[in-house]
Amino acid sequence: MAEPDTLRRFLFEGAAVRGVMVHLDATWRAVLERHDYPEPLRELLGEMMAAVALLSATLKFEGRMIAQLQGSGPVTLLVVEASSERTLRAIAHWNREIPAGDLQDILGDGRLVITLEPSDGAERYQGIVELTGSTLADAIVHYLERSEQLDTGLWLAAGKDSTAGLLVQKLPDSAEGEDADFWNRISQLTATLKRKELLELDVRELIHRLYHEEDVRLFESEPMCFRCSCSRERVGNMLRSLGKAEVQSILEEQGEVEVACEFCNQKYQYDAVDTEQLFASDVAHDIPPTTQ
């Protein structure tokens, strides 16, 4: 049985190939409890959560990875955010009935946008590619080929109560021509993986089934969880960016300003006193210092 809400890394000894597997249970259900998504969208969003967890695990940085699928079809937006602390949150938008079909049927013409936001305030990075392929895995592999020039295999599956993913990747420091046969063999072995196995098997069982003739080093499991990064402070900063006049207008019309987080449905209310305090610091900054 799969270990719930965990991410596991592994390496093939003597070869420049790494792997990561993730299994999300309560983390996935926490997203579903907050929004009622149609079946095709629910499956795609689950796969995307697993994929972003895997991608974030291949990076050495502190901060957030935000992946977006933007489309012109029935589904217009999917957003998954992963932090270096192994937390996830996700949201999706759609505007009409979603047909059962491939990625192009669901999203139409679209693009994949991946943004890295370092927590130390360093400049963020953003990569954008047009959506290609019939599955989310196809689109992400295409992105990695374009942006990082890394040979990558990606397998994803999403069910009612769990979602899972497996990534294998040839490391960039492998020598020219080194392990060419090994990479092809690992790719072919992993391609025999079935959806049911990915969702249900423990990582040790899965690695043994796929790579029992290889020497694999399995690292300690890393727990995953749902956590939203919204806060009253961040909402306050957003309201300040609107300007005092705009916020005051909303307050006069509605009696209070209410902001709801799309990801977790948490609501933040601001009355007249709250909004006055919100902009008090800005007013203080505008008063010139006195001299004695």
Among residues 183, 206, 226, the one where a domain terminates is 226
Reading the block at residue 151, the tokens are 């040979």
Q: Are residues 154 and 258 in the same domain?
A: no
- Is 176 a member of any domain? yes
Q: pLDDT value at position 176? A: 53
CA distances, 195 to each of 62, 136, 186 (Å): 32, 15, 18
CATH code for the domain of 47: 3.55.30.10
Residues of the chain with pLDDT under 70: 173-180, 281-292
Contact 71, 10 (CB under 8 A): no
Q: For residue 125, what are the domain limits?
A: 6-226
CATH code for the domain of 276: 3.90.1280.10
Q: pLDDT value at position 179? A: 61
Q: pLDDT value at position 263? A: 85
Beta-carbon contacts of 225 under 8 Å, excluding residues fewer than 6 positions away, are 5, 26, 27, 86, 87, 88
Q: pLDDT value at position 291? A: 41
Sort 281 into a burial class: Cβ within 10 Å, 0-12 / 13-18 / 19+: exposed
Instruction: Tell me the angle at which helices 272-286 and 232-242 cross, rounded to the nearest 10 degrees.
Output: 70
Q: pLDDT value at position 178? A: 57
Q: pLDDT value at position 248? A: 85
Reading the block at residue 145, the tokens are 């080929």
48-66 pLDDT, tens digit each: 999 999 999 998 889 999 9
Q: pLDDT value at position 131? A: 92
